[in-house]
């Protein structure tokens, strides 16, 4: 039975375990024990040593109907800041934080939904396909846990990522591609009062570059941001270096590259004007994906939605998630709604009723896949 009170309790236990990115060991062992209590074996991979964290991704392989395709089920266990010492406030079925931290429903709601679904499948002996259940680490800082997975060892031909939004029935089947950019702008230090003409002001160079480039919403599917700037030592020193970090995202790879190049050019031009250098570091943090409506992974979730009376709807996401990584590695994956609202803020909240609905949705999806084959 999928019980709202049980879900609320398990969710509250999960969010009370601190799990900032790269410090997920305690929550990984909590989930491992919850799986063990269901009779499910799980192992962690070597992501901890690869990433310099204290926990690997937790992977459980669960046998299912022999002719059915293997299905990947995923949620991430790390949470964003401020996310330590979370004190969940329960009001009937609605759960929020005490206002000093995030709630961590992104993505402890997904973790709860997966545990609830597995328990339900086992208790009710519901036919399901073979499952590869993966709880990833370090998602929030750049999808690092998923990127560290050994994809050769995975059998899955479709994936469900439980890391969605508030409205049941919403399927995120597309997400943008993104670049992270960083610049190290060089200037020449000089005494600002005695001989400023001998200096080159690195902050000035960066300011000109930033003022020149298009930022914000570039078009309906492209965005760009400069988010961090640091440099300078004192008001009486012409600053000799400044670092700047930014990003750009787009659903269209060509537009993405164009925007990336504009940002790079703005720094190059400004540096050239001042006879100095701006060294850029460019990282393609994740690739866009778009799962077609006739892909089996989407069809099953769609039909399950209809069977449960939720209105199925596809949506393009604005951010990266582990689904980007799974799709990039050839496992068509979509993101299912899990219930949270106002994620990444201290106002984050979730209704346990939505988590129960999401668990029913996942259960029904898996049942349809098993029945189809
Ligand atoms: Zn998330």
Widest pairwise Cα distance in the chain:
82
138-148: average pLDDT: 96
Say whether domain 177-279 belongs to CATH 3.30.70.360. yes
Residue 49: what are its φ and ψ, rounded to 5°? -75, -35
C-alpha to C-alpha distance for 93 and 50, rounded to whole angstroms? 39
DSSP-assigned letter for residue 79: B
Q: pTM of the full predicted structure?
A: 0.90
Ligand 1 centre to CA of 106 (Å) is 5
Q: What is the pLDDT of residue 230?
A: 97
- Say what the pLDDT of residue 258 is: 98
Asked whether the beta carbons of 118 and 29 are under 8 A apart, the reply is no
Q: How far is the CA of 77 from the centre of ligand 1 (A)?
A: 9
| pLDDT exceeds 90 at position 319 | no
Spatial contact of 298 and 334, defined as CB atoms under 8 Å apart: yes
Write the CB contacts of 328 (distance below 8 Å, at least 6 apart in sequence): 286, 287, 289
Write down the pLDDT at residue 263: 98
364 CA to centre of ligand 1 in angstroms? 23
How close is the Cα of 66 to the center of ligand 1, in Å? Answer: 32
pLDDT at 277 over 80: yes
CA of 165 relative to ligand 1 center, distance in Å: 9
The rounded distance, in Å, linking the Cα atoms of 56 and 52 is: 10
* CA 5 – ligand 1 centroid, Å: 23
Measured at the alpha carbon of residue 142, what is the angle toward residues 139 and 143, in degrees to the nearest 5? 45
Between CA 54 and CA 324 the distance in angstroms is: 24
The token duo for 305 is: 């939605």
Percent of the chain with pLDDT over 90: 98
Averaged pLDDT score across all residues of the chain? 97
pLDDT in tens, 35-67: 999 999 999 999 999 999 999 999 999 999 999
Residue of 93, 118, 124 whose CA lies nearest to 354: 93
* Interval between CA 76 and ligand 1 midpoint (Å): 7
Cα 192–Cα 195–Cα 196 angle in degrees, nearest 5: 50
Ligand 1 midpoint to CA 305 (Å): 22
Topology (CATH) of 4-175+288-372: Aminopeptidase (3.40.630)
Q: In degrees rounded to 5, what are phi and psi of residue 101? A: -135, 170
- pLDDT greater than 80 at residue 373: no
Give 159-174 pLDDT, tens digit per residue: 999 999 999 999 999 9
Task: Please give the distance, rounded to the nearest whole angstrom, from the Cα atom of residue 279 to the centre of ligand 1.
Answer: 32
Does an H or E element contain 326, and which?
helix 322-328
The arithmetic mean of pLDDT across residues 282-311, rounded, is 96
Burial of 330 (0-12, 13-18, 19+ CB in 10 A): exposed
Beta-carbon contacts of residue 304 (< 8 Å; ≥ 6 apart): 361, 364, 365, 367, 368
Residue spans of the domains in the chain: they are 4-175+288-372, 177-279
- The alpha carbons of the chain give a radius of gyration, in whole angstroms, of 23
Question: Each residue of 1-35: pLDDT tens digit?
Answer: 999 999 999 999 999 999 999 999 999 999 999 99
Q: Partners of 170 in the beta sheet?
A: 313
Are domains 4-175+288-372 and 177-279 of this chain identical in fold?
Answer: no
Residue 107: cis peptide before it, omega within 30 degrees of 0:
yes
Residues involved in catalysis: 78, 139
């Amino acid at each position: 039975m999928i019980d709202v009170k049980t879900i609320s309790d398990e969710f509250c236990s999960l969010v009370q375990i601190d799990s900032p990115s790269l410090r997920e060991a305690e929550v990984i062992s909590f989930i491992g024990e919850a799986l063990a209590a269901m009779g499910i074996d799980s192992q962690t991979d070597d992501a901890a040593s690869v990433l310099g964290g204290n926990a690997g991704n937790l992977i459980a392989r669960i046998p299912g109907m022999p002719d059915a395709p293997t299905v990947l089920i995923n949620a991430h266990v790390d949470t964003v800041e401020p996310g330590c010492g979370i004190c969940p406030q329960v009001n009937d079925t609605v759960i929020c934080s005490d206002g000093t931290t995030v709630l961590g429903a992104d993505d402890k709601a997904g973790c709860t939904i997966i545990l609830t679904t597995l328990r339900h499948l086992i208790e009710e002996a519901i036919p399901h396909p073979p499952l590869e259940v993966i709880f990833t680490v370090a998602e929030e800082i750049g999808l690092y846990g998923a990127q560290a997975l050994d994809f050769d060892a995975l059998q899955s031909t479709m994936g469900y990522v439980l890391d969605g939004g508030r409205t049941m029935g919403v399927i995120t089947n597309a997400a943008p591609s993104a670049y992270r950019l960083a610049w190290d702008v060089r200037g020449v230090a000089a005494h600002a009062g005695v001989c400023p003409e001998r200096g080159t002001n690195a902050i000035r160079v960066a300011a000109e570059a930033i003022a020149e480039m298009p930022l914000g919403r570039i078009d309906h599917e492209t965005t760009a941001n400069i988010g961090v700037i640091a440099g300078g030592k004192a008001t009486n020193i012409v600053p000799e270096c400044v670092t700047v970090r930014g990003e750009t995202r787009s659903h269209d790879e060509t537009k993405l590259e164009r925007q990336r190049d504009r940002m790079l050019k703005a720094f190059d031009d400004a540096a050239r004007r001042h006879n100095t250098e701006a060294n850029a570091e460019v990282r393609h943090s994740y690739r866009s994906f778009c799962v077609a409506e006739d892909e089996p992974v989407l069809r099953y979730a769609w039909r399950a939605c209809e069977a449960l009376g939720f209105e199925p709807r596809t949506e393009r996401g604005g951010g990266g998630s582990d689904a980007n990584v799974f799709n990039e590695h050839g496992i068509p994956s979509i993101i299912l709604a899990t219930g949270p609202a106002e994620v990444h803020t201290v106002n984050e909240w979730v209704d346990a009723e939505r988590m129960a609905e999401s668990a029913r949705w996942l259960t029904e999806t898996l049942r349809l896949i098993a029945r189809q084959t």
